[in-house]
Structure 1
Amino acid sequence: MNSPAIVWFRRDLRLADQPALTEAARKGPIIPVYICDDETARHRAMGGASRWWLHQSLEKLDMDLRSLGSRLIVRCGRSDEVLGALATESGAEEIHALHHYEPWWRNAEAAVARKRRLCLHHGNYLAPPGSVTTATGNPYKIYTPFWRALRERMPPPPPLPRPTNLPAPKTWPKSEAIADLKLLPLRPDWAGGLRDTWEPGEAGAHERLSAFREAVATYEARRNLPGEEGTSMLSPHLHFGEISPAQVWHAVAEAGGSTDIFLGEVGWRDYAQNVILQYPDYGTRPARDPFAHFPWRTSKEELKAWQQGRTGYPIVDAGMRQLWHTGWMHNRVRMIAASFLIKHLLIDWREGERWFWDTLVDADYGNNTVNWQWTAGSGIDSNMFVRIMAPLAQSEKFNASDYIRTWVPELADLPDGEIHDPSPAHRPAGYPDKLIDHREARERALAAWRDAKTA
């Protein structure tokens, strides 16, 4: 029997279209491993909602592996140290894994490679980040030309099939129980809404994709309507690698209609990874000079009101409450809520990014930081700061009345013409007044921008 190979799982928790797993199993026995490594990630350790998702996904992955004669070995500690010890225990000569591009994972890969034979494979993106370049070989900074160049390379290769069996080692290393990772909230258990909303795991990802395949042709018309289920809701499944972007592409590419608009959103994931590959500190450092000394306000009370959905702006409050209950927020509302924090309250975008990191089940370093810097106007490709979203107009434009009724039930009895911006006479008792009037907020934001540019 050949010596076993370790398959190092991270954000690639699937069996189908998993090149690291496929190649390792082709050679001989495999030992699938997941390492709970908060030490390497440090301040970028997963937030609470992501940890809840991870627990469910690891359980599903272990069940799927066992159905093929294998199992998941779970350990805690620094990835390079744990993998080195595991290789010594098992006699494994190779470690197979998919490339990851977050700065902490790139550091971990380098540390592992210094100690053991690390075989890295591509498979979490449509094209390997860093491979889509300009004619002069430079990485793209702007999304539109990046997407145009990436689109010319599509479709991606056909997805690899799910293995029918997995060769096991002669003896299995010891494993910690998934429950021992303590990923689930207990006191209090705030995850009831997450359980009601999601089915983590590879099977759940494909169920979600199958349902969306029937609607993708009308994606452009429906994706901005919070009250409708017009988005794919595949983002957490893609983030945790329970499904690959190649699988998504091949499933929907021929659906017609506005499918290309949706595929462009899948391409945005690739773009975000290319950004953090160029700028590893993108989550903390603004890309544009005026934001290095922007006069951000510090208000714990207003930040908390935003986090709790108590701003007095129904569309913002609905989004923030949906986020807390389900770990997810409609994309149009994410933009409105983020813009409100940055431009109405003048609170640093990094405060919002940190809150999303903790509360989103799809909290992704690339997407999250690129989207926040886009909204703030501080990114290398971003909206202009002076383009300030009007949340009340956005709410009415995108027909958010039923969405507000769902997530702000104290406003549920108001008619459509009143619910987007309740007048003082119709504002129910207990629903807060606006933190700031829109016109006043706009004037204050534009003044702050002028100060930042001349500082």
Structure 2
Amino acid sequence: MIRGVAGVVLCSREMSSGCSIVWFRRDLRVEDNPALSAGVRAGSVVAVFIWAPEEEGHYYPGRVSRWWLKQSLTHLDSSLRSLGTCLITKRSSDSVSSLLEVVKSTGATRVFFNHLYDPLSLVRDHRSKEVLTAQGIVVRSFNADLLYEPWEIHDPNGQPFTTFAAFWDRCLSMPYDPSAPLLPPKRIVSGI
């Protein structure tokens, strides 16, 4: 696994529109990963994981969580290598600044990531989009965990549900089905 951005090189010169960064966070998988699928469709991909545990506030990961993360990152890197690229990992205290460093060092023009819904992540993701968009980077985020986005399911008055039974009845009566799981890519063109 490549650690840090020192080993990152510019995206392939043949990709005149630049490469895409796929920012992995809690979605450490190649299967059913809409951000990765979007990156592959757009061209070459730089896969990045930035570990910034200080950003988790009072939820700093314990020893077992760190062990699980290491094993999961090793498996993800192996999966990505079998498809044609590798995972870049970076330790940071500010994931947005680190992500911007990777963008600048690779020449990437797009960043894709999957939504997180906890309050700290929502603030970080909003800031990420603002900072990257101001630099001319296209940023897209995706639902990778939920049947429906929280803002898609409301009671008849347009309010959030207060009981699970009513919420579930509404989900079952939605006018469209949730998306089918995505297959893993067959090949990834590496952006590094």
TM-score by length of 1: 0.36
Alpha-carbon distance in 1 for matches of 2:123, 2:95: 10
- Give secondary structure in 2 for the equivalent of 1:96: strand
Alpha-carbon distance in 1 for matches of 2:120, 2:75: 26
Q: What pairs up with 1:426-437 in 2 under 5 angstroms?
A: none
Long gaps (5+) in structure 2 = 1-14, 133-137
- Give secondary structure in 2 for the equivalent of 1:61: helix
Deviation at 1:144, TM superposition (A): 1.4
- Give secondary structure in 1 for the equivalent of 2:152: coil
What are the Cα deviations for residues 273-308 of structure 1, in whole angstroms up to 9, with x where unaligned? xxxxxxxxxxxxxxxxxxxxxxxxxxxxxxxxxxxx
Identity %: 32
- Give secondary structure in 2 for the equivalent of 1:130: helix
1:133 to 139, 151, 154: 154
Deviation at 1:31, TM superposition (A): 0.6
1:70 to 70, 75, 85: 85
Deviation at 1:152, TM superposition (A): 2.4
Of Structure 1 and Structure 2, the greater helix share is in: 1
- Give secondary structure in 2 for the equivalent of 1:56: helix
RMSD: 1.4
Alpha-carbon distance in 2 for matches of 1:141, 1:46: 31
1:105 to 109, 121, 128: 121
- What amino acid is the match of 2:165? T
Question: 1:162 maps to which residue?
Answer: 184
2:44 to 29, 33, 38: 29
Alpha-carbon distance in 2 for matches of 1:45, 1:97: 22
| Pair 1:152-2:152 in alignment | no
Q: Which has the higher contact order (CA 8 A, sep 6+)?
A: 2
- What amino acid is the match of 1:88? K
- What amino acid is the match of 2:77? D
Question: 2:144 maps to which residue?
Answer: 123
- What amino acid is the match of 1:39? E
- What amino acid is the match of 2:161? Y
Deviation at 1:155, TM superposition (A): 4.6
Aligned residues: 170
Alpha-carbon distance in 2 for matches of 1:128, 1:46: 27
Question: 1:91 maps to which residue?
Answer: 107
Alpha-carbon distance in 1 for matches of 2:168, 2:66: 31
- What amino acid is the match of 1:152? S
What are the Cα deviations for residues 335-366 of structure 1, in whole angstroms up to 9, with x where unaligned? xxxxxxxxxxxxxxxxxxxxxxxxxxxxxxxx
Long gaps (5+) in structure 1 = 173-455
What are the Cα deviations for residues 165-209 of structure 1, in whole angstroms up to 9, with x where unaligned? 00111xx3xxxxxxxxxxxxxxxxxxxxxxxxxxxxxxxxxxxxx
Question: 1:313 maps to which residue?
Answer: none
Q: What pairs up with 1:356-435 in 2 under 5 angstroms?
A: none
What are the Cα deviations for residues 200-219 of structure 1, in whole angstroms up to 9, with x where unaligned? xxxxxxxxxxxxxxxxxxxx
Of Structure 1 and Structure 2, the greater strand share is in: 2
